[in-house]
Amino acid sequence: MHSRDHDAAVAVTSHVPHLMASLMAARLGEGPAGLARVAGQGLRDATRIAAGDSRLWGDILQANAPAVAGVLKDLHADLSRLVPALDALARGGAAERDLGMRTLVDLLERGISGLAGIPAAGHGRTSDDASPERHGVLVRVAERPGELARLIAAVTDLGGSAEDARAGLSGGGPGLTVRFAAPAGTADRLVTALAADGWEAVREDGGGRPAREGREGRKDTRIPTA
Give the model's confidence band at 225: pLDDT under 50 very low, under 70 low, under 90 confident, else very high.
very low
pLDDT at 22 over 90: yes
8 A C-beta contact, residue 134 and residue 105? no
Average pLDDT over residues 5-27: 92
Report the side by side order of strands in the sheet with 166-169: 166-169, 176-183, 134-141, 200-203
Determine which of 8-12, 13-17, 114-118 has the lowest per-residue pLDDT on average.
Answer: 114-118
Torsion on CA atoms 18, 127, 113, 92, rounded to nearest 10? -50
Please state, in angstroms and rounded to a whole number, the distance separating the CA atoms of residues 165 and 77: 31
Report field, pTM of the whole predicted structure over 0.75: no
pLDDT at 179 over 90: no
Average pLDDT over residues 104-125: 79
CA distances (Å), 165 to each of 95, 159, 199, in order?
A: 49, 14, 16
pLDDT at 206: 52
Question: Mean of the per-residue pLDDT values for the chain?
Answer: 80
H helix runs in 92-117, sequence order: 94-116
Q: How many CB atoms lie within 10 A of CB 106?
A: 13
pLDDT at 128 over 60: no
| 132 or 29, greater pLDDT | 29
Smallest CA-to-CA distance from 57 within 27, 21, 26, 4 is with 21
| 221 or 62, greater pLDDT | 62
pLDDT at 129 over 50: no
pLDDT at 146 over 80: no
8 A C-beta contact, residue 139 and residue 200? yes
